[in-house]
Structures are given as C-alpha cells and as structure tokens.
C-alpha cells in the first residue's frame, strides 16, 4: 500500500517541481534556473513532501493545498544539501548520485543556488491556497524548523564539534535540530493545513520527532555499512573523522536496536491519532518502518 501511495505522490511532487523550474524567464536568468534545478532534478526520496501530504490527508482527503508547502520544504532541504556539501562545510563531491552543485557549477554558483532555493521556498509558500491564519502558522513552522533554532543551529553544532569531543546528550540535540527539525515540520505543516486539533498535532509532532531521529540513526548506520554507489554519496566519513554517531556510541547492533525502539515510539504516537482515515495511519506506520530498513 505504501509503495503505490508514494509512487503516486512522487509523480505529483516531481510535476509541481518541474512546472516551477520549467518557467522561462529569458536571458541569463534561464541559465541560473538550470543551476537551481540541477540538484532538485537529481532526485531524492522526497520523504519530507510526502510526509506533509500524508499528514494533511490524515484529517482531510483533499490535500491539493498541501502541495505548495510540501515543495517549499523540499526546496529548503535541497538548499541545505547544497550548502552542506560545500568545501567550507562537509566538502563532498557526490550527492543524489551526481556531482555536487559546486563541483558541477563552481562554488560561488552553488552558494547562490542554495540562497536562491531557500528564498524561493518562502516565495512559493506565500502563494499557498490556505487561509491567512494558516499561512502565518506555516511561515512560522518552516522558518523555525529551517533556521537558527532548527536546522541551521544543528549544522552549527555539527561544525562546532568537528574537532572537539561531543557527549551523547549533545548528539541527540544535534540530530533533533539538524535532521529531525525539517521532518517534524513536514508532519506539522500537513496537520496544520488540515486543521488538526492540538492533541492530534502533538501526536504527529512526536511521530515526526521520532522518525527524524531514526532517519539520522539509519544515516549513521548506512555511513558505516553502505555501498557508495547504492547510497549516491560518499560513505565512511564519520569513522574517518572520528565523529560520535549512534554506531560509535552503541555499536552496529546497538544502533539498530535504538532505531527499533524509537520507531516503536513513533508508531505508538501515530496510533493515538483519532481519524477515520486509518489507511493513512497505516502508511505512516509503514513509512516509519521503511526509514530504518532503507538502503539509501
């Protein structure tokens, strides 16, 4: 059930992205557009936009007004990958199975592409077909999750501890900010669009936080065991850099066990939601399990 659902929604997400970047502006603006679209068209699992659509559909069958916010989130996610790969940050040459944006177009252009996608996210979000009070909430959710108390702060923590020992509490904070913030935001935005009550919003938030953490634990596991081609990016970097990860803290089996425990927590949270759309609850449960089983 999950596979068909995801494949169907990915088509809609890809089409919406294509439409946005297919627009011709004339002159060198079109060349810039090509740079902006390169990292987006490289693919990616589109987990965040799918989560926004799914969590909207928990409470409302009509999810069309969740597409634009979901795409806004994907633009922010893509900008973060472009900037994370820059020489001044993670200095990576492969992403989504292709040369990173700075390798393909140069460093300055990659910085601009990231800046452009980040800003464009808010531009398109402002056009979402939702009531003004909901739009205000979405603007807050997205900027909070992406910004200086969310993902950007997570990235700062990551860089700060590059050459210093980090304890486990800080590792959890790092994951909550750098990785879970956008995933939690994806879930919250969908539920806000479909006007979920406070109790259900709290449950979907907990679900998002938990799968955000398991997403990162699995990322740690994949960095340790995966094949570079299969993953579409450089692997083994954590061990090489002697970074604290779930695998370093708990060992490979221990990290897998931690991921299972947190997945169960996510499932418990999602089961608390009262909705007639139980098929969407089931897909979210399948998705939580997929996150710790995925190979890329």
Which positions touch ligand GRG (CB under 6 A)? 44-45, 47, 77, 80-81, 83-84, 89, 96, 151-152, 155, 178-179, 216, 219
Closest CB to ligand GRG: residue number: 44
CB of 134 to ligand GRG, least distance (A): 26
| Closer of 175 and 265 to ligand GRG (Cβ) | 175
CB of 196 to ligand GRG, least distance (A): 24
| Contact of 219 with 154, CB cutoff 8 Å | no
Nearest in space to 57 (alpha carbons), one of 194, 240, 262: 194
Exposed/middle/buried for 294, CB within 10 Å: 0-12, 13-18, 19+?
middle
For the chain, how big is the Rg over CA atoms in Å? 18
| Closer of 111 and 202 to ligand GRG (Cβ) | 111
| Closer of 81 and 145 to ligand GRG (Cβ) | 81
CB of 64 to ligand GRG, least distance (A): 23
CB of 57 to ligand GRG, least distance (A): 20
Structure tokens belonging to residue 229:
């081609």
Q: Which residues contact 11 (CB under 8 A, 6 or more apart)?
A: none
CB of 288 to ligand GRG, least distance (A): 15
What is d(CA 30, CA 279) in angstroms, rounded to the nearest whole number? 42
| Closer of 194 and 214 to ligand GRG (Cβ) | 214
| Contact of 220 with 247, CB cutoff 8 Å | yes
| Closer of 139 and 152 to ligand GRG (Cβ) | 152
């Amino acid at each position: 059930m999950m596979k068909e659902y995801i494949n169907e929604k990915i088509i809609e997400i890809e089409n919406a992205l294509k439409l946005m970047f297919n627009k011709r502006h004339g002159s060198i603006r079109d060349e810039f557009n090509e740079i902006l679209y390169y990292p987006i068209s490289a693919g990616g699992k589109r987990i965040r936009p799918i989560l926004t659509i799914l969590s909207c559909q928990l409470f409302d069958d009509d999810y069309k007004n969740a597409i634009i916010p979901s795409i806004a989130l994907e633009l922010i996610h893509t900008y973060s990958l472009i900037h994370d790969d820059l020489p001044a940050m993670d200095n990576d040459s492969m992403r989504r199975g292709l040369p990173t944006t700075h390798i393909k177009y140069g460093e300055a252009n990659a910085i601009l592409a990231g800046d452009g996608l980040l800003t464009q996210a808010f531009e398109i979000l402002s056009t979402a077909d939702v009531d003004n009070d909901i739009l205000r909430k979405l603007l807050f959710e997205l900027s909070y999750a992406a910004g200086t108390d969310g993902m950007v702060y997570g990235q700062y923590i990551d860089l700060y501890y590059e050459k210093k020992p980090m304890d486990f509490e800080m590792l959890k904070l790092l994951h909550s900010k750098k990785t879970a913030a956008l995933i939690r935001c994806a879930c919250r935005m969908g539920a806000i669009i479909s006007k979920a009550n406070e109790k259900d919003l709290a449950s979907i938030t907990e679900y998002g936080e938990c799968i955000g953490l398991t997403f990162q634990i699995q990322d740690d596991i994949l960095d340790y065991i995966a094949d570079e081609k299969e993953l579409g990016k450089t692997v083994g970097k954590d061990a090489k850099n002697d970074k604290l990860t779930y695998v370093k803290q708990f060992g490979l089996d221990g990290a897998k066990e931690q991921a299972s425990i947190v997945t169960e927590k996510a499932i418990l949270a999602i089961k608390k939601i009262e909705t007639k759309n139980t098929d969407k609850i089931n897909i979210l449960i399948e998705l939580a399990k997929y996150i710790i089983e995925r190979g890329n």
